[in-house]
């Protein structure tokens, strides 16, 4: 079987070790000849890369490994670019989450004003690495995790319509794993076949069946009605804020019991609850939790490997976040025709929704990319919510392309998470100040 060459863009990411371990774990179905890391922060990347260098030398010496900040070195001779950059890093995520709070609106990484600010930073960064890929490895595929995936996907649709980029998200993967646990399915989520529709971080399951075609929705709904997506309330491996999110799915589900919701809908259906909950500790948001936990844990594990000179018994862990990107790469490499949720241009897959919208729906993935599964007409409730949200995302891309203050004010004003045009303007003016080093100049 063909051996692939991969560059991980955002090599200094806290998720990089998990992806490397997942790649090694699945090397039988997706063999690799080369792994490279690319980042624009040499110091951050070096800490992760030097640890992964030791791990790979010990566990997979046949794989060529290198890391660089030089685009030509990074993007030459690759089959896949696995992209998970965070433009502005956690310092800017913290601002995305805290600035809206000053104005009575919740702050979040990818949703509401925080997601809009993040999108205005990410578009340039993702286009830059996509252009590097097309320059140095034009036949490669970019498998993009960089967030906010909805805005990044709309920007690449508009500005790089012919690019070989597939935008993905692992939130449905994580929720489906929980559904499978609720159902006690032996092979986890892979024992399910789902129909799902929406935008990224803004979607619903409308049909879930086992491989024999039996309807699994009633049993899952009965659980979610009582417990949300919480499986074990005492699971020490789940951070408290994530446990809250899984529990809140109960109230999100109550609004439309005909479907099962993505957890992110809580931000749009209960923005008041989220703000009140987060405003109990406005100086300590999710970004602070991630810096105190995941970032500290991953970089401490990397340092431990380098200090000891071995990755034996190291604390690096693979996670489901990584398996999805491997599934996608394998499906393309082996023309597997695997059924996967992707963020793709609608073009009629959802019959009564904007054909140019980037929607998250099941696709069949093979060597030439993907084919969309037809969803048909969606209900008025979801259609109305999605039309508002997709318009926000499109206005953000308009603002980025045209350097338009007016369009970005409209995007914030239109968001279901912002109460008025005056609050939107106050948040916008603060975000402009904080993002001077990252956003295009607005006029």
Ligand X SMILES: NC(=O)c1ccc[n+]([C@@H]2O[C@H](COP(=O)([O-])OP(=O)(O)OC[C@H]3O[C@@H](n4cnc5c(N)ncnc54)[C@H](O)[C@@H]3O)[C@@H](O)[C@H]2O)c1
Ligand Y SMILES: O=P(O)(O)OC[C@H]1O[C@H](O[C@H]2[C@H](O)[C@@H](O)[C@@H](O)O[C@@H]2CO)[C@H](O)[C@@H](O)[C@@H]1O
Q: Which residues bind ligand X (CB under 6 A)?
A: 9-10, 12-15, 39-41, 44-45, 84-87, 89-90, 125, 128-129, 145-147, 149, 169-171, 321
Quick note: the x/- pattern for ligand Y over 161-200, rule CB under 6 A, is: --------xxx--x--------------------------
The distance from CA 27 to its chain's CA centroid, rounded to whole angstroms, is 23
- Select from 109, 134, 360, 393 the one that contacts ligand Y (CB under 6 A): 109
The interface partner of residue 410, options being ligand X, Mn ion, ligand Y, none and the CB cut-off 5 to 8 Å by kind, is none
Residue 319 lies near ligand Y (rule: CB under 6 A): yes
Nearest 5°: phi and psi at 441?
A: -65, 135
Please, which residues bridge with residue 340 across strands?
363
Burial category of 21 from C-beta neighbours within 10 Å (exposed 0-12, middle 13-18, buried 19 and up): buried
Smallest separation (angstroms) from ligand X to the CB of 94:
11
Three-state secondary-structure class, residue 388: helix
Residue 116: strand, helix, or coil: helix
CB of 315 to ligand X, least distance (A): 16
Of 390, 387, 371, residue with least CA distance to 379: 387
CA distance 107 to 112: 7
320 binds ligand Y (CB under 6 A): yes
Least separation, in Å, of the C-beta of 342 and Mn ion? 12
Q: Which does 353 bind (CB under 5 to 8 A by kind): ligand Y, ligand X, Mn ion, none?
A: none
Q: Using an 8 Å Cβ cutoff, are 37 and 67 in contact?
A: yes
For residue 286, the partner it binds in ligand X, Mn ion, ligand Y, none, with Cβ less than 5 to 8 A by kind, is ligand Y
201 is in an annotated binding site: yes
Query: Beta partners for 144?
Result: 83, 167
167 labelled binding-site residue: no
Please identify the residue of the shown chain whose CB is closest to the bound ligand X.
Answer: 12
The catalytic residues are 170, 264
Angle at 309 between CA 303 and CA 310, to 5 degrees: 95
120-149 positions binding ligand Y, by CB under 6 A: 147
**Could you please report the per-residue DSSP string of 198-264?**
EETTEEEEEEEEETT--B-HHHHHHHHHHHTT-S-TT-TTS-HHHHHHHHHHHHHHHH-TTSEE-GG
193 binds, among Mn ion, ligand Y, ligand X, none (CB under 5 to 8 A by kind): none
CB distance 345 to 358 below 8 Å = yes
Alpha carbons within 13 angstroms on the beta-carbon side of residue 374 total: 5
> Nearer to ligand X by C-beta: 87 or 155?
87
Cβ-contact 266, 252 below 8 angstroms: yes
Least distance (Å) from Mn ion to the CB of residue 321? 9
* Closer Cβ to ligand X, 74 or 426, answer by number: 74
Taking residues 59 to 98 in sequence order and writing x for each that binds ligand Y by CB under 6 A, - otherwise, the string is ----------------------------------------
Note the residue count of the chain: 443
Comparison of 70 and 283: residue with beta carbon closer to ligand X: 70
Tell me the C-alpha distance between 125 and 177, whole Å. Answer: 31
153 interacts with Mn ion by CB under 5 A: no
Residue ranges in 139-209 assigned as alpha helix (H)? 149-159, 171-183
Residue 286 known to bind ligand: yes
241: tokens are 């804020």
Query: Of residues 403-422, which lie at the interface with Mn ion (CB under 5 A)?
Result: none
Interaction of residue 248 with ligand Y, rule CB under 6 A: no
Binding residues (CB under 6 A) for ligand Y: these are 109-110, 147, 169-171, 174, 286, 290, 319-321
Binding-site residues for Mn(2+), in ranges, read 169, 201
Give the annotated binding-site residues for substrate.
93, 147, 286
């Amino acid at each position: 079987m063909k051996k692939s060459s991969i560059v991980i863009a955002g090599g200094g990411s806290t998720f990089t070790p998990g992806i490397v371990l997942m790649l090694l774990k699945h090397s039988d179905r997706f063999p690799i000849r080369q792994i490279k890391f690319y980042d624009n922060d040499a110091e951050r990347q070096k800490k992760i890369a030097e640890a992964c260098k030791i791990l790979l030398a010990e566990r997979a010496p046949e794989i060529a490994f290198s890391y660089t900040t030089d685009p030509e070195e990074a993007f030459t001779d690759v089959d896949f670019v696995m992209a998970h950059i965070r433009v502005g890093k956690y310092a800017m995520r913290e601002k995305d989450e805290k600035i809206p709070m000053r104005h009575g609106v919740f702050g979040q990484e990818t949703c509401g004003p925080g997601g809009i600010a993040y999108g205005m930073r990410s578009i340039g960064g993702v286009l830059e690495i996509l252009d590097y890929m097309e320059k140095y490895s034009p036949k490669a595929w970019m498998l993009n995790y960089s967030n906010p995936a909805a805005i990044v996907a709309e920007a690449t649709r508009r500005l790089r319509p012919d690019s070989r980029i597939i935008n993905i998200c692992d939130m449905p993967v994580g929720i489906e794993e929980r559904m499978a646990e609720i159902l006690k399915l032996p092979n986890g989520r892979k024992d399910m076949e789902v129909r799902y529709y929406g935008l990224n971080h803004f979607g619903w399951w409308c049909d879930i069946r086992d491989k024999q075609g039996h309807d699994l929705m009633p049993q899952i709904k009965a659980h979610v009605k009582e417990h949300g997506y919480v499986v074990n309330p005492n699971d020490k491996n789940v951070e408290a804020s994530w446990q809250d999110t899984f529990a809140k799915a109960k109230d999100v589900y109550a609004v439309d019991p005909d479907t099962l919701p993505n957890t992110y809908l809580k931000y749009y259906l209960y923005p008041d609850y989220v703000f009140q909950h987060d405003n109990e500790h406005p100086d300590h948001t999710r970004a602070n939790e991630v810096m105190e936990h995941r970032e500290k844990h991953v970089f401490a594990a990397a340092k431990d490997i380098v200090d000891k000179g071995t990755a034996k018994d190291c604390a690096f862990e693979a996670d489901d976040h990584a398996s999805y990107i491997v599934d996608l790469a394998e499906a393309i490499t082996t023309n597997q025709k695997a059924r996967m949720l992707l963020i793709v241009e609608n073009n009629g897959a959802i019959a009564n929704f904007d054909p140019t919208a980037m929607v998250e729906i099941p696709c069949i993935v093979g060597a030439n990319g993907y084919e969309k599964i037809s969803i048909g007409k969606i209900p008025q409730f979801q259609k109305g919510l999605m039309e508002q949200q997709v318009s926000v995302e499109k206005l953000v891309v308009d603002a980025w392309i045209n350097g338009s203050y007016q369009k970005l004010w409209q995007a914030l004003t239109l968001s279901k998470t912002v109460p008025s045009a005056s609050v939107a303007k106050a948040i916008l003016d603060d975000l402009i100040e904080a993002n001077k080093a990252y956003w295009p100049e607005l006029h």
